[in-house]
């Protein structure tokens, strides 16, 4: 008789205790940040929203890495987190910046269900969850001051989705890795066609995260997305107004 090999059962990774920096970053909402980390480590892993190997480094690599993005987000603006996934960076940003109005934009139902549960559980009244792709909500979603994203797509493709959602003179903030400068240089032609006027690579989180979080910042001019997207946005807006009248 032949027997199959026994597959070892992997024990779920344990969420480590929050580092001291987390208390400093999240302040009064530190308990909510801990609850979010627990949800990611449990339901987030079970639903396939985050890999089990990420659990031991949830605080440093994910929550704090995203929360320090707040250093470069202007006060009191509207934000759209494109491809929000499990809520990174949108939810950590919401926890440290109650002055912002944040939309978590995500196309997959299982992810939007998780996001809605998290928003309600943590009492994040300034956060809205929207299911859809960036290109689908163009003209339906109110243009925002800031678009955020993390680990969604290469910069040129990400800009094609995110930049058209901006208000005139708005900015996109993309959390990137060590190759941020290289990626930015390779995307300059595409960014120019999308109406981007300024670009820079920023390091944030001094004294809070190691390594520092790298952010690519792109600022648009009067026509976010360029001429082609201006026409597309106007057409989508007209269609939406007609639908509401019916």
Q: What is the pLDDT along the chain (246 residues), one digit of tens a residue?
A: 444 444 444 455 789 899 999 999 999 999 999 999 999 999 999 999 999 999 999 999 999 999 999 999 999 999 999 999 999 999 999 999 999 999 999 999 999 999 999 999 999 999 999 999 999 998 889 999 999 999 788 899 999 999 999 999 999 999 999 899 999 999 999 999 999 999 999 999 999 999 999 999 999 999 888 766 666 666 666 666 666 676
Contact 101, 78 (CB under 8 A): yes
Q: What is the pLDDT of residue 2?
A: 44
CA-to-CA separations, 64 to 70, 92, 141, 185, in angstroms, rounded: 10, 8, 28, 27
Residue 48: exposure state from Cβ atoms within 10 A (0-12, 13-18, ≥19):
exposed
State whether residue 198 is helix, strand or coil.
Answer: strand
What domains can be seen in the chain, in order of their start residue?
18-243 (3.40.50.150)
Phi, psi of 124 (to 5 degrees): -90, 80
Q: What is the pLDDT of residue 239?
A: 66
pTM greater than 0.85: yes
Tens digit of each residue's pLDDT (9 = 90 or more) over 158-187:
999 999 999 999 999 999 998 999 999 999
Whether 18 has a binding-site annotation, put simply, is no
Q: What is the pLDDT of residue 139?
A: 84
Q: What is the pLDDT of residue 152?
A: 83
Whether 233 has a binding-site annotation, put simply, is no
Q: What is the pLDDT of residue 54?
A: 93
Whether 180 has a binding-site annotation, put simply, is no
Determine the Cα–Cα distance for residues 155 and 186; give it in Å rounded to an integer: 9
Q: What is the pLDDT of residue 12?
A: 56
State whether residue 147 is helix, strand or coil.
Answer: strand
Q: What is the pLDDT of residue 223?
A: 86
Determine the Cα–Cα distance for residues 110 and 115; give it in Å rounded to an integer: 9
Contact 215, 234 (CB under 8 A): no
Q: What is the pLDDT of residue 27?
A: 96
């Amino acid at each position: 008789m032949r027997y199959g090999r026994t597959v070892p059962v992997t024990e779920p990774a344990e969420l480590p205790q929050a580092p001291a920096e987390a208390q400093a970053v999240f302040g009064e909402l530190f308990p909510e940040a801990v609850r979010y980390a627990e949800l990611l480590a449990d339901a987030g892993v079970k639903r396939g929203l985050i890999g089990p190997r990420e659990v031991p480094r949830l605080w440093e690599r994910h929550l704090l890495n995203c929360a320090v993005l707040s250093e470069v987000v202007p006060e009191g603006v509207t934000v759209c987190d494109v491809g929000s996934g499990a809520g990174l960076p949108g939810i950590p940003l919401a926890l440290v910046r109650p002055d912002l109005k944040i939309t978590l934009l995500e196309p997959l139902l299982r992810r939007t269900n998780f996001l809605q549960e998290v928003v309600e559980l943590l009492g994040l009244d300034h956060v809205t969850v929207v299911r859809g792709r960036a290109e689908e909500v163009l003209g339906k979603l109110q243009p925002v001051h800031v678009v955020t994203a993390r680990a969604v797509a290469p910069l040129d493709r990400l800009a094609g989705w995110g930049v058209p959602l901006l208000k005139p003179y708005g900015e996109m903030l993309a959390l990137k890795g060590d190759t941020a400068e290289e990626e930015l240089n390779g995307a300059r032609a595409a960014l120019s066609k999308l109406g981007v006027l300024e670009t820079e690579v920023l390091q944030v989180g001094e004294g809070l995260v190691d390594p520092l979080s790298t952010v690519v910042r792109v600022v648009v001019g009067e026509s976010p997305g360029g001429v082609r997207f201006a026409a597309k946005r106007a057409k989508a807006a007209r269609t939406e107004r007609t639908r509401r009248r019916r």
